[in-house]
Each structure stands twice: as structure tokens, then as C-alpha cells.
């Protein structure tokens, strides 16, 4: 049986049959892939504890007929801090959901893998709403649809305001904004933070402070933009809204 190695992060998992799981992995070498972990829901499994959501690990996989099979796991960082805090966990699911909805399967994207590791690190130690927003905005850029921050995406006029159009593709002018029913005024603080995050490095994000109100608007702007690109709702966004209530 052919085996291969991959470095990856567990972004999701689903039960399969009596004791197996299917894992959604994002790997440095192969991008997004799904793999089967056999018998990991049994208490005797050697692998079970190593396949928690958001674990970063080196995997040994065997080619399978329908799905490849995880045979060995060497954990690099289990990101325990994300699973012990409900708020951080909610935003970590948003990061996973953004990746699963927007990145096509089986396409290598090494810069996105680097971005994901940096995002998970920020999520553990800094404002998780800001960290998840930064990840989303930079992900859009890596995938070729970075939001427009200084020119209206529709007519090209310079824009400095806070009118955000998920459909048109970023900050837009008042006239064009009317064409998008989901256009919204973000307010000065959230608009400023968004413009900053589109181009910020992970180190710069760690120094950014925003109010809770602006952070919520920032997240909503990123979610609406992602949903317009994916053309479907992000499940994690609904979970976050429920958490906030």
C-alpha cells in the first residue's frame, strides 16, 4: 500500500460507521484533503487524542480506495488553548469554516497553510474576533479576491468612507452601494480596522486593539464577504451569533 507524509491541521471531523472518523485536513503539501481515521472512537485507539480539532501534526497516510487512511500522527502543537475557551473555540470554527468553504479541495496553497498556523496562534493569545477577521481578509487576498479598500470596485472612484459591499467586493461609493442589498455602514472604527487588517502582518495584528462593538462589525463584514464569494451561509457564523446571545 502506497504511503505518503503530510504536515497539516485538523479542520473538522465527522463520525463514520461504528468507530471511524472522516477528517478534514488542511495540509502544507496538498492543500485541503479528507482522510479516514480508523477505529479512533474506541477508547483503546492510539490515535484518538492526537486528532482533536485544530491540532497541527505530521501525518502518515496510506492511499485508500475512496479515502486515504491516517496511519501515524506526530503532534506539533495541539492548540489546547482553543478548545478550553468557548469564545476562542467559536472563532476557531469560523477560521476552519472559511477555509473549508473557500479553498478548493486538492489544490496546494502553501501560503494559506502558513496563514492558517499564524491565525491559530493569534487566536490563542489575542482578541479572537480580530484574529479570525485578519485570517479571513488575508485568505481572500491569497485566493485572488482581496477586498478593495481605497477604490470603489464597481466604478473605480476613490473611497475613504465606511460603506461596505460584500457583493461588489469591498468598500464602495454611495451610488454603487445601492446596488447591493447587503451593503452596510461599518462605522469609522471597524472600517479603519478592516483597512489595516487587509494588509497587516501577524505581528501587527497582535498590537491592534478594537472595541467589542467594532470587532463584532468587523467579523460580520468578513462573514458577509465570504458568504458572497462562497454563495452559501457559513455555519460557524451562526454558531458565533448564538454564543454572543
Binding site for Zn ion (CB under 5 A): 152, 154-155, 173, 176
| Shortest reach from residue 169's CB to Zn ion, in Å | 11
Give whichever of 61 and 159 is closer to Zn ion, judged by the CB atom.
159
| Residues across the chain | 245
Question: Per DSSP, what are the bridge partners of residue 14?
Answer: 22
Strands 31-37 and 68-77: parallel
Nearer to Zn ion, 37 or 168 (CB): 168
**Least distance in angstroms from the C-beta of 162 to Zn ion:** 15
Q: Residue 33 pairs with which residues in a beta bridge? A: 25
Residue 141: CB minimum distance to Zn ion, A: 21
Nearer to Zn ion, 136 or 153 (CB): 153
Residue 176 CA to residue 170 CA, distance in Å, equals 11
Please identify, using beta-carbon distances, which residue of 36 and 195 lies nearer to Zn ion: 195
Residue carrying the nine cell digits 477505529:
39
Smallest distance from Zn ion to CB 120, Å: 36
Amino acid at each position: 500500500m502506497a504511503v505518503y507524509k503530510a504536515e497539516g491541521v485538523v479542520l473538522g471531523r465527522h463520525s463514520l460507521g461504528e468507530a471511524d472518523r472522516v477528517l478534514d485536513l488542511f495540509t502544507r503539501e496538498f492543500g485541503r484533503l479528507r482522510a479516514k481515521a480508523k477505529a479512533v472512537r474506541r477508547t483503546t485507539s492510539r490515535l484518538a487524542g492526537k486528532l482533536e480539532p485544530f491540532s497541527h501534526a505530521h501525518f502518515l497516510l496510506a492511499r485508500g480506495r475512496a479515502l486515504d487512511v491516517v496511519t501515524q500522527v506526530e503532534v506539533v502543537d495541539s492548540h489546547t488553548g482553543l478548545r478550553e475557551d468557548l469564545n476562542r473555540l467559536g472563532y476557531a470554527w469560523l477560521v476552519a469554516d472559511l477555509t473549508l468553504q473557500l479553498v478548493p479541495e486538492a489544490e496546494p496553497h502553501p501560503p494559506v497553510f502558513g496563514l492558517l498556523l499564524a491565525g491559530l496562534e493569534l487566536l490563542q493569545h489575542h482578541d479572537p474576533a480580530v484574529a479570525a477577521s485578519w485570517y479571513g481578509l488575508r485568505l481572500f487576498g491569497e485566493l485572488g479576491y482581496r477586498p478593495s479598500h481605497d477604490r470603489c470596485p464597481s466604478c473605480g472612484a476613490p473611497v475613504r468612507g465606511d460603506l461596505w459591499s460584500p457583493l461588489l467586493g469591498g468598500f464602495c461609493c454611495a451610488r454603487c452601494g445601492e446596488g447591493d442589498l447587503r451593503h452596510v455602514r461599518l462605522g469609522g472604527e471597524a472600517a479603519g480596522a478592516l483597512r489595516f487588517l487587509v494588509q497587516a502582518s501577524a505581528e501587527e495584528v497582535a498590537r491592534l486593539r478594537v472595541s467589542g462593538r467594532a470587532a463584532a462589525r468587523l467579523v460580520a463584514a468578513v462573514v458577509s464577504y465570504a458568504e458572497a464569494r462562497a454563495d452559501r451561509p457559513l455555519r460557524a457564523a451562526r454558531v458565533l451569533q448564538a454564543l454572543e446571545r
